[in-house]
Structure 1
Amino acid sequence: MRKLFLALAVAGAAVVGAVPAMAGDTYKFNLHNKSSQYVINGFRTYENGKWSNNWINFTLKPGETAEMDWGSDDGTCVVPFRVSWVGYEAEKFSVDWCKVHNIYMKDEGFTWD
């Protein structure tokens, strides 16, 4: 099983560059809160039939960005994830982690590149 951990760097409205996974590197991405009012308080991934522990032990306010790191470059590239925010239920999404560098939470849904 892939070991998950978080390399945290919350940066107010500052832009954090995309960090691609390279040979010998780990899957890294940035979680951006581009909403106007929602506060992110959870990020979990689904592997081996269960949801992970919460990756984050902080809140991510509108305009903030956190650098996230799988801690590995092993395993399948498509792993479902869910994000929760204060006062709302978590929503489930799925992306190709081998290609994702940024995930953007917006007022309605998520996008990624």
Structure 2
Amino acid sequence: MTAKTILAAVAALLVATGTVAANEWKFDLENRSTANVTSFRTQENGAWSDNWLDEIIVPGDTFEMDFGTDEGNCTVRTRIDFTDGTYVDADIDYCNMSTITVRNKDVIWK
């Protein structure tokens, strides 16, 4: 799955869930953990999406993401998996952030 395909799927998901402020759907995903990030998924109606990433994000790297829309529900349950079998998840407010930082035991956004 290519990044373009992933972002198109995300855009469709966000359009289906409501309306938000414009120009808020681009962000950086920073890996500040000690393990590689292998997947980035959102939850809708109790089910996790397919993995949006088409590459592994190594510790210290940043991956630029663009949902390709300014429509959708601001708060989306998000899960990020690591190569060591652990994961972090949170209800992320995509309308009020520009960076998601993944750490070993949590995820923060600003």
TM-score range, shorter chain: 0.7 to 0.9
Task: Indicate conservation of the 8 Å contact 2:21/2:95, yes or no.
Answer: no
Superposition CA RMSD, Å = 2.2
> What SS does structure 1 have at the residue aligned with 2:86?
strand
Larger fraction in helix: 2
Superposition misfits of 4+ residues, deviation over 4 angstroms = none
Q: 1:4 aligns with which of 10, 15, 18?
A: 10
Task: Indicate conservation of the 8 Å contact 2:76/2:94, yes or no.
Answer: yes
Task: Indicate conservation of the 8 Å contact 1:26/1:70, yes or no.
Answer: no
| Residue 29 of structure 1: aligned partner | 27
Aligned-pair identity in percent equals: 34
- In structure 1, runs of 5+ residues without a counterpart are 6-20
Q: Provide TM-score, normalisation by structure 2.
A: 0.74
Q: Provide TM-score, normalisation by structure 1.
A: 0.73
> What SS does structure 2 have at the residue aligned with 1:88?
coil
Cα deviation, 1:36-80, whole Å, max 9, x if unaligned, reads x21000000112442211000111111100001112111110111
Task: Indicate conservation of the 8 Å contact 1:26/1:71, yes or no.
Answer: no
Aligned length: 95
> What SS does structure 2 have at the residue aligned with 1:38?
coil
